[in-house]
Amino acid sequence: MEKVRVAIIGAGWIAQVAHIPVWKKLENVELVAVCDTIKTRAKAVAEKYKIPQFLTSDDELLKRDDIDAVDICVPTNMHERLTIAALSARKHVIVEKPMSRTVEEGEKMIRASRQYKRHLMVAMNVRFRYDAANLKSFIDGGEIGEVFYAKAGWLRRQKKWTEHAWLFQKKFSGGGVLMDLGVQMLDMALWLLDNAKAKSVKANIYSNVARLDVEDTAVALVHFENGVTLNLEASWTFLREEDLFYTNLLGTRGDAQLNPLRVTKEMHGSLVHLTPSKSETPTNLYKNSYENELRHFINCLRDGTPMLSSGEESLERMRLIEAMYESANCGKEVAL
């Protein structure tokens, strides 16, 4: 295919800030339509970004034969229905994280992808950061030896809350900060650890600050079959001036951390720093992660590039997330 023809369903914040600007930038993509149930928003976004068509009905959008792939940027409760509808209409799909509210919903999405022989990717942009890719190359190259402990967290400073926002209502989101920030850090950690197979999870969730319908803070400990341990934490109510976003890994020959990227190893009895001298600003890392992610999706469709963050991978993340909620609710470790 000369150009991949893409349509977006959902013209909200993430579509306008992160997705549409990238689609318009990629030379091998033609952004042909945007769909949103709010007509004024669909029209305004189409005019602003010079998108040829705007619609308010996803059914009408998916009937079109001039669309190769659909980018789904809507609340999580709509992911299952829209993904299956798009796949059955023979469109490839990239859907915003988290994949679904439940493992059961995710399994249905995977079955549809296989049935209709179309690609399904989940937008986990954090692993597509340049510093994350560099960290992955250091680990895969054996620079810090065998990793045996990892700690990852995303703690956002407390902001004002909108009680009616879909993100904070379980029926729409499926969960709280664990589904929002936690799943991203879990995804990156598992990717860095070569998708090690988990054997048990112990987790706690809290809503002591925001008092929402869902948790505002979550902590979890994951034990893997190969002996590695992962400590995961996420919060929307971090009482500091700045967010804390990090990943730390301990290996048998050194250690590494993310944000900022630093790699230290032992050589001939001395500590050696392997950190790249050039570093990106946080803003550029954020923007570039979306470009890298969407470009990868297009390369998978055009060139047969093996897909990262596939539906199958993301379903495994959902299994762990569900186990974390189960552990938090029953107050004990859950075997997988």
Domain positions in the chain are 4-126+291-308, 129-280+316-335
Please answer whether residues 200 and 229 qualify as being in contact, where contact means their C-beta atoms are separated by less than 8 angstroms: no
Query: Per CATH, which fold does 129-280+316-335 belong to?
Result: Dihydrodipicolinate Reductase; domain 2 (3.30.360)
Above 70 in pLDDT, residue 1? no
Query: Per CATH, which fold does 4-126+291-308 belong to?
Result: Rossmann fold (3.40.50)
Please answer whether residues 21 and 291 qualify as being in contact, where contact means their C-beta atoms are separated by less than 8 angstroms: no
pLDDT, position 113? 98
Q: What is the pTM of this model?
A: 0.95
Above 80 in pLDDT, residue 333? yes
Q: What is the pLDDT of residues 223-268, one digit of tens each?
A: 999 999 999 999 999 988 889 999 999 999 999 999 999 999 988 7
DSSP letters spanning 19-83: IHHHHHH-TTEEEEEEE-SSHHHHHHHHHHTT-SEEES-HHHHHH-SS-SEEEE-S-GGGHHHHH
Q: What is the mean pLDDT of residues 287-296?
A: 96
Reading phi first (left if > 0) and then psi (alpha if -120 to 50, else beta), residue 211 is in left
Banded model confidence at residue 312, pLDDT cuts 50, 70, 90: very high
Owner of token pair 């439940």: 102
Q: What is the pLDDT of residues 98-123, one digit of tens each?
A: 999 999 999 999 999 999 999 999 99
DSSP assignment letter at 313: H
* Strand ranges inside the chain, DSSP E: 4-9, 29-35, 53-55, 69-72, 92-96, 120-123, 147-157, 198-206, 217-224, 229-238, 244-251, 254-258, 262-267, 270-273, 334-335
Above 80 in pLDDT, residue 277? no
- Residue scoring higher pLDDT (269 or 105): 105
pLDDT, position 109? 98
